[in-house]
């Protein structure tokens, strides 16, 4: 009996030592479950922004927050402002990227590829409860284009909502207006117009980088670096600059 107890004790000590020496985060360097002590971090400290259409943009930790990469690409005429047409065109460009069989529809297989290969971060858990909620999400309300806010209650910072301008956990599926698990080009267009209306808070028909809300992840990075409460971020659109 004594030898058996000694053997169990040694095995337990080995397991505890392995846990203590394991790197933070989930398997394969994927983000681990968040806690209430601070924002979750991407592998290697990489920054992540997910566009309103669901496209991920990544940048090294000391680079400007990658919302700038998205905005610069979507701003087709490089005049420093996004019109609704430019915003929709950017969403449809990403739609075409996901529509790998060129059928004009993003089906369940293409949605799965998006979630597992293109933006696997959205399959993570909820954001830390210490961070405030992001801008409320939206959906299609009949055939109209007016934003529809999500109900209050549960923590809405799930999945992509932590990294985006709008609190939509899965932006691609959020474009599915008739809930048939397929996203058509028309549905993607309507969703883009709805999202633009929600972000265009002053209703001037344009979005400027400096006017965009900061993502919860963006705010969390700043808090983590400063060891302080929420503060202003440097650079256009609030992007950190080191």
Tens digit of each residue's pLDDT, the chain (242 residues): 444 433 434 443 443 333 333 333 333 333 333 333 333 444 457 899 999 999 999 999 989 999 999 999 999 999 999 999 999 999 999 999 999 999 999 999 999 999 999 999 998 744 443 333 334 444 433 344 444 444 444 444 789 999 999 999 999 999 999 999 999 999 999 999 999 999 999 999 999 999 999 999 998 765 555 555 443 333 334 443 33
What pLDDT is recorded for position 185? 98
The pairs formed by 178-181 with CB atoms below 8 angstroms and a separation of 24 or more are 181/107, 181/108, 181/111
Q: How far is CA 141 from CA 19, 26, 149, 174, 181, in A?
A: 48, 38, 10, 12, 17
User: β-strand 183-184 against 47-50: which pairing, if any?
Assistant: unpaired
Phi and psi at 65, nearest 5°, equal: -60, 135
Sign of the torsion angle spanned by Cα atoms 221, 224, 226, 229: positive
What pLDDT is recorded for position 142? 38
What pLDDT is recorded for position 76? 97
Instruction: Count Cβ atoms below 10 Å from residue 193 Cβ, excluding itself.
Output: 20
What pLDDT is recorded for position 33? 33
What pLDDT is recorded for position 158? 87
What pLDDT is recorded for position 204? 97
What pLDDT is recorded for position 192? 98
What pLDDT is recorded for position 13? 43
Say what the pTM is: 0.66
């Amino acid at each position: 009996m004594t030898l058996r107890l000694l053997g169990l004790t040694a095995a337990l000590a080995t397991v505890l030592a392995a846990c203590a020496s394991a790197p933070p985060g989930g398997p394969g360097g994927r983000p681990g479950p968040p806690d209430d002590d601070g924002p979750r971090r991407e592998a290697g400290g990489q920054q992540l922004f997910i566009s309103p259409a669901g496209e991920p943009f990544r940048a090294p930790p000391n680079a400007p927050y990658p919302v700038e990469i998205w905005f610069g690409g979507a701003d087709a005429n490089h005049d420093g402002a996004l019109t609704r047409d430019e915003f929709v065109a950017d969403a449809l460009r990403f739609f075409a990227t996901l529509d790998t069989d060129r059928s004009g529809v993003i089906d369940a297989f293409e949605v799965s590829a998006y979630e597992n290969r293109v933006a696997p971060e959205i399959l993570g858990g909820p954001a830390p409860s210490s961070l405030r909620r992001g801008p409320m999400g939206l959906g299609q309300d009949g055939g109209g284009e007016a934003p529809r806010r999500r109900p209050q209650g549960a923590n809405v910072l799930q999945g992509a909502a932590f990294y985006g301008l709008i609190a939509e956990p899965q932006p691609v599926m959020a474009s599915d207006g008739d809930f048939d698990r397929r996203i058509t080009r028309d549905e993607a267009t309507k969703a883009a117009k709805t999202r633009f209306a929600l972000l265009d808070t002053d209703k001037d028909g344009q979005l400027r980088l400096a006017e965009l809300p900061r993502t919860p992840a963006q705010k969390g990075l700043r808090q983590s670096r400063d060891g302080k409460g929420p503060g202003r971020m440097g650079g256009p659109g609030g992007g950190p600059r080191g």
